[in-house]
Chains A and B, each alone.
Chain A
Amino acid sequence: MSKRVLIVDDALFMRTMLRDIFEAAGWEVVAEAEDGKQAIIGYQEHQPDLVTMDIVMPEMGGIPTLKIIINADPLARVVVCSAVGHRNLIMDAISAGAKDFIVKPFQPKQVLDVVERVISE
């Protein structure tokens, strides 16, 4: 059975790019969310194997969102996505329970290395 992922990002461009990378590698994208609220609803509904979460989003950002998700499901695997400049945000996200991180701009191989490793642990 293919692995199921929920993609959270406020930019359609990024979501599409990630979807392409995942689908090319045989993953199933169960849903896309463009903000924290949708992400939480999507997680509850689909219970995906993995979530990619943009850190900087309007309204509810990635860190509070991942905290809520992990609080509800301590085993949730959340990988955060962020620009290199947001070093401290990445740190905060990891401290908050993110399993790993991907730095924009993405290299498909780099994304898959990270998510495969997270899913195998």
Chain B
Amino acid sequence: MDSAKFREMFLTEATEHVEQMIAMLVQLDADPEDRDGIDALFRNAHSIKGMAATMEHNTTAKLAHRLEDRLDKCRKRGNIDGNEIDWLLEATDLIELLLNDIRNERPERDVADFMATTPVTTSAMAEPTTNSVATPTSDVSLPRVIKLQLKSDVVAPGARLLVLLKHLSAIGTVVDSTPTPAELLELESPHQLSVRIVSDLDPEQLRQGLQKYQEIETITFPASATGPKPQQRKTPAKTVRVSTELLDHLISLTGELITNRYRLQGGVDKSNWQEIDAGVGQLARLVKNLHHHVLQVRMVSLEALAGRLTRTVHDLSRSNGKTVSLQVEGATIELDRTIVEALTDPLVHMVRNAIDHGIDVSGTICIKAWREKDQIHIQVSDDGNGIDIEKVKEQALKQGLLAPSQVKTARRYDLLQMICQPGFSTRDSVSETSGRGVGMDVVKTAVEQVGGILTIESPPDKGARITLKLPISLAIVRVLMVECDGAKMALPITRVAQTVEISPDEVQSSGKQLMIEHQKELLPMLSLRKILNIPKRAQHDPIPIVITEVLGRKIALVVDRLVGQQEVFVQRLPEPFDQVRGSSGATILGDGEIVFLLDLQSLFEHRKRCAAE
């Protein structure tokens, strides 16, 4: 069997089972007599066991088998108790670690210590104590090798071996065979077949089944070579599971594109402009449709992530002795897979923060996801103590993030953002879970790396609320094109509040700073030319302006010209251009022109830092 090819499939599926198990275990904690839930867990464990054994990941298979055993007992008893849930959660975590080992092509870690443990069941219906000893695990179905030798006078031996191989496939899972079925077709007259098979039947039962074939001379069961076969080190390609329905749709769209090509070709041949025009219209519709569906391939819902967070809340509230409930809204919202993956750890951290720092004894954490125009917003809020702004000030002073002269004038928004500075903590003693390791700075970086924005709010006495504004997809972004010194530049539309054109008479000044009034708010006017160190140009009338938000503050960005909105395919800049400050990527327009995506946030942060130094 091509292990590299199957490994990724195995890992994907096993991980899904683990995620489902975690979510289900947490649910069962609330409803320990949910038989369907216990059944589902049992099936998950069973599937992991079968797959792991087939792939010869024996430690994982044995551990999954242990879980299956325990769940079988729960199933028979019709309930599951708290200690069992904790034990099973621990086991599930271990499986996850083992899967990680497999993913990174490391040998599976030793889990003997855990295998020696048994959950202490306090349930009145607990089974007799005979189970206090770890169950032997030799009965896990690991692949077994069967060697068959045909009699020398058998006619069509290749076909005979093929029939035998089919017989074995019907009673178990054939891992691989020598020769392979394809080789059997090629070989002149093979008489031997060696098969690795996972089957619930024992060798004697297997032998009985095979003895019906008089063509076989000998059946042997050589001991399986110990340890996994040396595997070629291949980096498994990242794979995505796609529903067949979606795939069929893509195929049929491709088919329509081919038809469209002939229609256009026909139009060109006959110089029939009407036909070409209609064809281009059809092409536009098809491409839009195709684009929409292709993007869906990368979309995943937040459900798996929500399950993990539920688990985090469950574990932490137990270990901290707090009563915390988690509300999740909008878990069905879909986001680009990369974004969801990048956000997993940050969200776990935010939830930890809420439990560790926010909630005293009991409270609620609420995670809400919703779509707003081209963005997905994810909000983590709690009804705890909120962020102590005075402590933030104190700490910011101590760390030199804030000058003493700024203490009074600093805006609440800016102060709250300071908790995202590396090494910032308002806690003197670091707790076990948060306050150490991943801090809010890492959360902020992760969010910004996927093109998102993080805002922190903490109204006095109302807990803390952190909102992540994220793009739906990383690849295709709607942008506003602007022009500056003859070059086109793009701003993600998510960052643009509005575009306006004002006459020079409307410009006001406050000290050295030019301002404009926009929706009854005075906004500082900043010139893109100045930011990019391009010489000024003569003032135009009207002045084209983009109202955008940078570092939590609305600004009026003066550009040379507003070009328009467009959907573009954004590519990351290759090395060494990825080092260029102020650009988060680039896109190539239909006419071949390269347009850079402006990252105003980083440009401003740089300017601020330069000013401070």
Q: Which residues of B contact A121 (CB under 8 A)?
A: 167, 170
Q: Chain A at the B interface: mostly helix, strand, loop or mixed?
A: helix
Known contacts: A91-B184, A94-B166. The answer to whether A101 contacts B213 by CB under 8 A is: no
Residues of B178-229 whose CB lies within 8 A of A: 181, 184-185, 212-214
* Interface residue stretch chosen among B157-165, B248-256, B337-345, B584-592: B157-165
A77 smallest CB distance to B (angstroms): 13
- CB-based contact A91/B158 at 8 Å: yes
Q: Which residues of A contact B166 (CB under 8 A)?
A: 94, 99
Indicate if the CB atoms of A94 and B162 lie closer than 8 Å.
Answer: yes
Return the contact of A91 from the options B162, B170, B214 (Cβ within 8 A).
Answer: B162
Q: Does A2 contact B (CB under 8 A)?
A: no
Interface flags, B123-160, vs A, CB<8A=1, else 0: 00000000000000000000000000000000110110
Q: Which of A91, A100, A103, A120 contacts B185 (CB 8 A)?
A: A91
B184 lies within 8 A of A103 (CB): no
Residues B155 and A100 in contact, CB atoms below 8 Å apart: no
> Given the complex, which residues of A lie within 8 Å of B181, measured CB to CB?
95
A96 to B114, CA, bound (A): 48
Instruction: For B155, list chain A residues within 8 Å (CB).
Output: 84, 103
Whether the Cβ atoms of B159 and A117 lie closer than 8 Å is no
B188, closest chain A residue (CB): A87
Q: Are B170 and A90 in contact (CB under 8 A)?
A: no
| Chain A residues, CB < 8 A from B156 | 84, 87, 90, 101, 103
Do A94 and B213 have beta carbons less than 8 Å apart?
Answer: no
Interface residue A23 (Cβ < 8 Å from any Cβ of B): no
Chain A nearest Cβ from B464, distance in angstroms: 60
* Chain B residue nearest to A98 in the complex (CB): B163
> Within 8 Å CB of A90, what residues of B?
156, 159
Interface centre among B159, B167, B185 (most CB of A within 10 A): B159
Q: In the bound complex, what is the Cα–Cα distance between A120 and B167 (angstroms)?
A: 12
CA distance A109 to B112 in the complex (A): 55
B26-44 contacts to A, CB under 8 A, are none
Chain A residues, Cβ within 8 Å of B214: 113
Q: Which of A70-121 contact B (CB under 8 A)?
A: 84, 87-88, 90-91, 94-95, 99-101, 103, 113, 117, 120-121
The distance from the CB of B512 to the nearest CB of chain A, in whole angstroms, is 83
- Known: A84-B155, A91-B184, A91-B185. Is A100-B170 also a contact (CB below 8 A)? no
Closest residue on chain B to residue A89 by CB atoms: B159
Question: Closest CB of chain B to A111's CB: distance in Å?
Answer: 13
Q: Which of B163, B167, B170, B214 has the most CB of A within 10 A?
A: B163
B163/A88 in contact, CB under 8 A = no
Task: Please report the C-alpha to C-alpha distance between residue A100 and residue B213 in the assembled complex, in whole angstroms.
Answer: 11
Q: Which residues of B contact A87 (CB under 8 A)?
A: 156, 158-159
**B159-A94 in contact (CB<8A):** yes
Bound-state Cα–Cα, A87 to B156, Å? 6
Q: How far is the CA of A88 from the CA of B188 in the complex (A)?
A: 10
A36 to chain B minimum Cβ distance, whole angstroms, is: 21
Instruction: Verify B185–A117 contact, CB threshold 8 A.
Output: no
With a CB–CB cut-off of 8 A, which chain A residues contact B158? 87, 91
Closest-CB distance, B179 to chain A (whole angstroms): 12
Give the CA-CA distance A84 to B159 in the complex, in Å: 11
B50 to chain A: closest CB distance in Å? 23
- Distance A101 CA – B164 CA, assembled complex (angstroms): 12
> Which A8-32 residues sit within 8 Å CB-CB of chain B?
none
List B contacts of A91 (CB < 8 A): 158-159, 162, 184-185
C-alpha spacing A88/B186, complex, angstroms: 9
Give complex CA distance A121, B214 in Å.
15
Give 19 new A-B contacts, CB below 8 A, not counting A90-B156, A94-B166.
A84-B155, A87-B156, A87-B159, A90-B159, A91-B158, A91-B184, A94-B159, A94-B162, A99-B163, A99-B166, A100-B163, A101-B156, A101-B163, A103-B156, A113-B214, A117-B213, A120-B212, A121-B167, A121-B170
List, sorted by A's number, 20 A–B pairs whose CB atoms are closer than 8 Å: A84-B156, A87-B156, A87-B158, A87-B159, A90-B159, A91-B162, A94-B159, A94-B162, A94-B166, A95-B162, A95-B181, A99-B163, A99-B166, A101-B156, A103-B155, A103-B156, A117-B212, A117-B213, A120-B212, A121-B170
Name B's A-contacting residues (CB within 8 A): 155-156, 158-159, 162-163, 166-167, 170, 181, 184-185, 212-214
Question: Lowest 6 CB-CB distances: which A-B pairs, in order?
Answer: A90-B159, A103-B155, A94-B162, A117-B212, A91-B185, A91-B159
